[in-house]
Structure 1
Amino acid sequence: ELRIVLIGGRYNNLLSGKSSAGNFILGQNVFNTSRRTAQSEARQQEVFSRRVTVVDTPGWWWTWPKENTPKLDQIEIQNSVHLCPPGPHVFLLVIPVDLHLSEQIKSSLKDHLELFNVDVFSHTIVLFTAVAPCNETVESKIRRNPALQWILQQCGNRKHFLNISNREDRDQVKKLLEKIETLITNNGFRHCSVDRSQGETLRKEMRDLTERASKRFDQVQKQRNKLKLQIEGRLQVSFL
């Protein structure tokens, strides 16, 4: 059994490709790629005789500090590790090959990985993704980008390239799973430890936030309806 959590950021209109990568790994279109991921979702399939669980998560803005990420997104990211009990074996940090990462992302990445309360870097493989044939090799991009070099150093230089436009090439996935198993072995077959009580606390926070948002929405709708009635009443008076 392999338990995988997909993490990563967003930049302008370029999505991270986490959902597409999850679909590619599982060999099924189980994650919706037509919209941004708002909630952490877990899906499971048998892949090369292994039971593989993949958890997709909301992406944060690559250059934003954690405090600028909506609280609900933060909770959903934290909750991802509770959707693959007893805990994930690996985090795949998904980075599109076309994305140019500036030095700003260092603090943002550190900030957001602190949401997990574990040493995420020691359980992470950087997953470079491309949706079209790449004109430039990943290695040459890394050589020209100090931020990418720093990320890879934090992750023990573990990386994999996935051409998600070539869905027929399942050998890409096979090699990725082999790299994950090597990482698990090097980590002493330990998965990331997960605090169950924290999971319950997060679910309660999500319920509370959702209820408050629902109440605010109801209040806004009531105010709009009240205003609409007032405007309609004034219009009727003006016609008399």
Structure 2
Amino acid sequence: MLDYVEINPDVKPTATVIWLHGLGADGHDFESIVPELHLPEALPIRFVFPHAPKRPITINEGMIMRAWYDVADLDSEQKMDVNGFLESVDQVTGLIRDEMRSGMPSERFILAGFSQGGAIALFTGLTIEMKLAGIMALSCYLPLVAQLDKKRNGINQDIAIMMCHGIMDPMIPMAKAFQTRKELMRLGYQVSWHEYPMMHAVSPEEIDDVRAWLLKVL
């Protein structure tokens, strides 16, 4: 069970956004973005920001930090922590199922994530066995594309996907994100692509685009 930070509207929510943080952060990382979205009262959304488990990170000399999976080499998928990645996918799937117990239908869930969290959001959203409203993938790319091709579930073939990336990102070069978009489109998914003059971060312009996308999808 994942612990999380939650932000609830003043009235009963009509949708839920589960937002996954990046490497070394925690569920509080994107908490402050919610008021910046300036969402209308007519769209009351529950936001859930789970904390990733703590684990040693190879590329950071084994330091213990919150992460959805270990990273040994940013440029080599051969060293990918497949077990950790898929374990996190299962945990996020479990969180969605737990959230649904409140009566929120799966079709009213957005799965969002930044960096590592975006990778987990993409893979979970495209393999889960229930229909979701959309996936928001920020400053990330998708590893394990070959596994996705085998595991993906047709129920979300037409899911709304938003990808955002900084053109000066030194952590995840935009070319890697663009390749992910290309692979997703090859598999028949429609991807709304947005790029910004920024590094590995979130910009005010991006927040405005996220707001517009949420209003469109929900």
- Measured against the shorter chain, the TM-score band is 0.3 to 0.5
Larger Rg: 1
State the structure with bigger RCO (CA 8 A, min sep 6), 1 or 2: 1
TM-score (norm 2): 0.42
